[in-house]
Amino acid sequence: MESPMSDDNHLFVLDRPFKSSARRLPRIRRSPDTGTSVDIRKFYLTSQLYFRFAKVTIESEVVNNANDARSQEIAFTVQVPESAFMSNFTMEVDGVVYVAKVMEKDQAQKQFDEARAQNKTAGQVKQVSKAPARGTDVFSISVNLAPRAAAYFTLTYHELLDRRLGRYTQRLFLAPGGIVADLKVEASFAEEQGFKSFVYKLPGDQTEYTSGSDNVVMKASVSSRALIYKPSVEEQRTFNSNTGISGELVVTYDVSRQKDGGFVVVQDNFFSHFVSPWALPVLPKNLLFIIDISGSMSGPKIQKAMEAMLSILDVLGTRGVDAFNILLFDDRLEEWRSLPARAKPEEVKDAKGYVKERLEARGATDIHRALTRGLTVLLGDQKQRSCDVANMIIFLTDGDPTAGVTNTNTIISDVTQLNNGRASIFSLGFGFTMNFEFLSALSENNAGFARHIYDESDANLQLQTFYEEISQPVACDIQVVYNTELVDAQRVSDTTESLYFDGKELVVVGEIKTSASKLLPANFGARLQGTGANGNFDLPVPTGNIKIIGQADSDVESGLTEKLYAYQKIKQLLASLLKITSEVEKNRTRQMALELSLKHGFVTPLTSFSTVVDPASRDGSVDFDYADDFNFGQASFNVRKQSAASIPRKLAYDDILTAYSSAIWRKSVLFVLLVLAFFSLAAK
């Protein structure tokens, strides 16, 4: 991307967001030839959270302090949670402002192709799959900065915190790439229900703080928390004398709740309903562990799977009311028992011995046979869905099907049809070579979810933590019911959950009919219904649990609930694409998600960041139309220069040709990122 910083040749490269862990985060590069350094004058991270929904803005100011005539490459690199939607990116380089807006991805591609066809200056950076990493994506912009020039970067993203194991967690990533003179994190949290717990951890420190500490000023009230973290230059050097601080500020909290139908926030004509039934007894479980022991699981993977199973079996044996079984598979099947066994100490002891003896990697991977047989082993002659017991399959694999039926669509269809809603299937993808999209679709179609288990030293802990999340099912077939005279039934997100686990939260968003808003809150009429261990329940939402945001709430972001409505609806629409088979219905659903993405300015798998440049002038300057396009998972980001006011006159531009290719992580394939971008600017 062209950036007129001087009459000298210069380079601007826009890299796709790629996933990485904190320890592999790219750094700002310094020139070994000149020995000069880049001065990161400012790095601000500001997070404002209302009702679990966070708006995070990252600002950075970087200056090239070189005393000679050479420019230096600098980078603005930030980690973003993979569940977040970016909503703004602005960059100013030497007085030229680049502002990205959101547009439909195919349209961005079309504009790029047209620019190339007309021999206009154009460059493309493209990536068709995400590099796997633990829960984050990395957004990185590099630019060659002239001596004494400055660059300013601003990135904003929105994230709805997910409740797991009875707590919400926000991870704020700090890795500016150098020592920063003015480094500050400001994080505020507002929860009308009040805080039941609130702790935070600082980068590089596993201590859980509940109040202010050496470098943190904390203010607290019943329903709010505010943190200001300002590590000094000296403290930053304790992490690394050159690159400074690198780590996460992690905030974990929960809110107070009662045994009722949840808490509702209303702003304008939109509402957000947070549902987490409390103090319900745990349902009995019937579990089947289906474990891949094919050849690709050899080595540390099979060892970590064994360690995790032994730990899970220890926990399973503490209740005595649950049933379980184990099925091992490669291109053959091996069952521990023909029927599920009660989780009593003697049975657990026998199962642990079986796991130690039989978990040994060997043949090919017949997933179809394992899952279809597994449903029979788990359910026996049960014909209909029952809420008397929570039937669950925990399916662990590290690869694609390589034996038997290998078409993943056929596997999903056959398993879903055979299951017929009787059991929830939870898929665990081990390592980087498995087909996670297949596992996600499999679980989405069978009332479960998929989770990525990273092939790292704590893999067994990841497996244990996952089991903890699903170890306490407390309700079956829950449904949120609304007064249809107030709530537009066609504009409400998913209101049902097949199996609800203690410590989770169901978030329903919707729109209130314009003519009915004056009837709130007394006539909202929302209720939570479902079946628990003690039979059916029907829990109303008390009037006191309905918060109407008005003019008095001036600190709350304008349009907050509408933006949260769009965020949650887009997520659910995209997830539903995994279950829809009709192309007509897929296109309709995709269009709905696209329209919400564009209206609310979210970068999603269907949209792009883009800006447009007008010609610099009509009297000798070259017309300029430029796009950097790259994929974020399925999403592409297309950034074009918007303001060209300071482009020097009578400049010639060479075409930029950029190739950005990738190899998808599969068996024996390493993820490859190749970015080549060249752009020259010479004064006549």
Give the residue with greater pLDDT, 329 vs 658: 329
How far from each other are the two terminal CA atoms of the chain, in whole angstroms?
Answer: 20
Using the structure block, give the residue that is written with the tokens 């769009």: 566
- Of the pLDDT bands very low, low, confident and very high (cuts 50, 70, 90), residue 115 is low
Are residues 377 and 314 part of one domain? yes
pLDDT (average), residues 280-291: 95
d(C-alpha 390, C-alpha 499), whole Å: 8
pLDDT (average), residues 16-22: 32
- Please indicate, yes or no, if residue 410 is contained in any of the structural domains: yes
Q: Residue 445's pLDDT is what?
A: 95
Are residues 319 and 457 part of one domain? yes
| pLDDT tens for each residue of 138-163 | 777 777 778 888 889 999 999 999 99
pLDDT (average), residues 249-274: 94
> Is pLDDT above 60 for 131?
no
d(C-alpha 124, C-alpha 16), whole Å: 10
pLDDT (average), residues 328-353: 94
Are residues 289 and 200 part of one domain? no
Q: Residue 191's pLDDT is what?
A: 96
- Please indicate, yes or no, if residue 618 is contained in any of the structural domains: no
Are residues 304 and 447 part of one domain? yes
Peptide bond into 176 cis (omega under 30): no
Q: Residue 683's pLDDT is what?
A: 36
pLDDT (average), residues 200-228: 94
Q: Residue 2's pLDDT is what?
A: 33
Number of domains in the chain: 3
- Please indicate, yes or no, if residue 632 is contained in any of the structural domains: no
User: Of 587, 613, 639, which residue constitutes the final position of a domain?
Assistant: 613
Give the global pTM.
0.81
Contacts of 267 (CB under 8 A, 6+ apart): 548, 549, 556, 559, 560, 561, 562
Are residues 221 and 291 part of one domain? no
- Of the pLDDT bands very low, low, confident and very high (cuts 50, 70, 90), residue 112 is low
Nearest to 568 by CA among 547, 596, 544: 596
> Is pLDDT above 70 for 553?
yes
Average pLDDT in the chain: 79
Are residues 238 and 126 part of one domain? yes
> Is pLDDT above 50 for 34?
no
DSSP string across 12-76? EEEPPPB---GGG-------TTT---EEEEEEEEEEEEETTEEEEEEEEEEEE--SSS--EEEEE
User: Of 471, 501, 520, which residue constitutes the final position of a domain?
Assistant: 471
> Is pLDDT above 50 for 650?
no
What SS3 string covers 506-549?
EEEEEEECHHHHHHCCCCCCCEEEEEECCEEEEEECCHHHEEEE
93-107, 121-135, 444-458, 663-677, range with the lowest pLDDT: 663-677
Q: What are phi and psi of 434, to 5 degrees?
A: -85, 165
| Most confident option among 144-148, 166-170, 205-209, 378-382 | 166-170
CB 425 within 8 A of CB 438: no
Length of the chain as a residue count? 684
* Residue type (1 letter), 157: Y
* Residue type (1 letter), 533: A
> Is pLDDT above 60 for 668?
no
> Is pLDDT above 80 for 47?
yes
- Please indicate, yes or no, if residue 659 is contained in any of the structural domains: no
DSSP string across 563-604? HHHHHHHHHHHHHHTTT---HHHHHHHHHHHHHHHHHHT-B-
Q: In this structure, what CATH number is given to the domain that contains residue 333?
A: 3.40.50.410
pLDDT (average), residues 208-235: 94
344-358, 556-570, 665-679, range with the lowest pLDDT: 665-679
83 φ/ψ sector (left φ>0, alpha ψ -120 to 50, else beta):
alpha
Burial (CB < 10 A; 0-12, 13-18, 19+), residue 516, is middle
- Please indicate, yes or no, if residue 95 is contained in any of the structural domains: yes
Q: What are phi and psi of 50, to 5 degrees?
A: -130, 125
Are residues 56 and 151 part of one domain? yes
d(C-alpha 157, C-alpha 168), whole Å: 18
CB 448 within 8 A of CB 424: yes
Q: Where do the DSSP E strands lie in 443-505?
A: 450-453, 473-481, 487-492, 496-501
Q: Residue 242's pLDDT is what?
A: 86
DSSP string across 308-331? HHHHHHHHHTTTSS-EEEEEEESS
- Please indicate, yes or no, if residue 684 is contained in any of the structural domains: no
- Of the pLDDT bands very low, low, confident and very high (cuts 50, 70, 90), residue 372 is very high
pLDDT (average), residues 459-471: 91
Are residues 294 and 248 part of one domain? no
Helix (H/G/I), strand (E/B), else coil: 286: strand
- Please indicate, yes or no, if residue 22 is contained in any of the structural domains: no
Residue 191, CA distances (Å) to 183, 390, 554, 663 in order? 27, 32, 15, 44
How many angstroms from the chain centroid is the CA of residue 204?
23
> Is pLDDT above 70 for 619?
no
| Most confident option among 61-70, 330-339, 667-676 | 330-339
- Of the pLDDT bands very low, low, confident and very high (cuts 50, 70, 90), residue 119 is low
Q: Residue 409's pLDDT is what?
A: 93
Are residues 507 and 407 part of one domain? no
- Of the pLDDT bands very low, low, confident and very high (cuts 50, 70, 90), residue 588 is very high
User: Of 471, 493, 528, which residue constitutes the final position of a domain?
Assistant: 471
pLDDT (average), residues 182-199: 96
CB 70 within 8 A of CB 34: yes
Are residues 356 and 428 part of one domain? yes
d(C-alpha 568, C-alpha 161), whole Å: 11
- Of the pLDDT bands very low, low, confident and very high (cuts 50, 70, 90), residue 657 is very low
Give the residue with greater pLDDT, 201 vs 34: 201
> Is pLDDT above 60 for 13?
no
Are residues 462 and 335 part of one domain? yes
- Of the pLDDT bands very low, low, confident and very high (cuts 50, 70, 90), residue 183 is very high
> Is pLDDT above 60 for 519?
yes
Q: Provide the residue range defining the domain that includes 120.
A: 38-255+608-613
Are residues 161 and 66 part of one domain? yes
Per the structure block, which two tokens stand in for 249?
């500020």
Q: Residue 615's pLDDT is what?
A: 37
Q: What are phi and psi of 31, to 5 degrees?
A: -80, 115
Q: Within 10 A of 181 (CB to CB), how many other CB atoms are there?
A: 12
Helix (H/G/I), strand (E/B), else coil: 345: helix
Give the residue with greater pLDDT, 556 vs 419: 419
CB 197 within 8 A of CB 167: yes
- Please indicate, yes or no, if residue 153 is contained in any of the structural domains: yes
pLDDT (average), residues 541-548: 92
d(C-alpha 635, C-alpha 607), whole Å: 6
Q: Residue 358's pLDDT is what?
A: 94
